Amino acid sequence: MNHVLEPSVEMTLNNEIDYKGDWNSRFFKNSNPIILELGCGKGEYAVGLAEKYPHLNFVAVDIKGNRIYIGAKQAEEKELDNLFFLRAKIDFIDYYFEENEVDEIWLTFSDPQPNKPNKRLTSKSFIERYRKILKPGGIIHLKTDSDLLFESTEEEIAEHGYNCLFLTWDLYGDLHKLPQESQDVLKIKTHYEELFTKKGAQIKYCKFTVN
């Protein structure tokens, strides 16, 4: 598909990804900021963001090809030239992006990994990978239904001295505290948000910087 990249593990680990550091000139043909959605699933958030912000570039990452297919098909149909999907493990994200290449990262309804804290996308080892590729002051956003993931992220922020810019355990109750622009973005709902909201889950949100 036009909007999907599927690098092999071998090429990745051999550091043979030739678009690392070159996303803008190679794919987007502009020098606009690059925003990542990590664990994008079917890509509702990335598609919503790319439609709303044609002057920003988006890369949505997930390992599951059948989920990415749905978002990539929409990106093609809607002719979203500012959105690409990368089928890859987030564990290797710094093999695909150069230092300072990324402006912001969205983590949307990431797996809480109750038994494997080190696999949580806000655990120290993942944050270190994001730190490498983010520009100074680059923001990490987390939107989740999970008390466990949110609480552990709060602990990581405190323990490692990340700079928390906004945090709420009740996003929709506190939405009015944010600028209109942020409210519009945060109202975009992913597949998992729809599922969890129907079950009565309260949505939590925080944004923070790590460099």
Ligand X SMILES: C[S@@+](CC[C@H](N)C(=O)[O-])C[C@H]1O[C@@H](n2cnc3c(N)ncnc32)[C@H](O)[C@@H]1O
Q: Which residues are designated catalytic?
A: 111
User: Residues 85-124 vs ligand X: string with x where CB under 6 A?
Assistant: ----xxx----------------xxxx-------------
Nearest to 71 by CA among 48, 89, 44: 44
C-alpha 194/C-alpha 205 separation (Å) is: 15
Q: Contact between 48 and ligand X (CB under 6 A)?
A: no
Please state, in angstroms and as integers, the Cα–Cα distance from residue 100 to each residue in 93, 133, 159, following that order.
Answer: 13, 5, 24
| Residue 153 tokens, joined | 């992220």
Binding segment (CB under 6 A) for ligand X, from list 11-19, 34-42, 151-159, 175-183? 34-42
What are the tokens at 122?
Answer: 């806000």
Helix (H, G, I), strand (E, B) or coil at 175: helix
**Smallest distance, ligand X to C-beta of residue 193, A:** 6
Binding mask 127-166 for ligand X (x = CB under 6 A): ----------------------------------------
- Nearest approach in angstroms of CB 30 to ligand X is 26
**Minimum CB separation from ligand X for residue 43, in Å?**
8
Structure-token pair, residue 157: 């922020």
40 binds ligand X (CB under 6 A): yes
By the 8 A CB rule, do 118 and 200 touch?
no
Nearer to ligand X, 63 or 158 (CB): 63
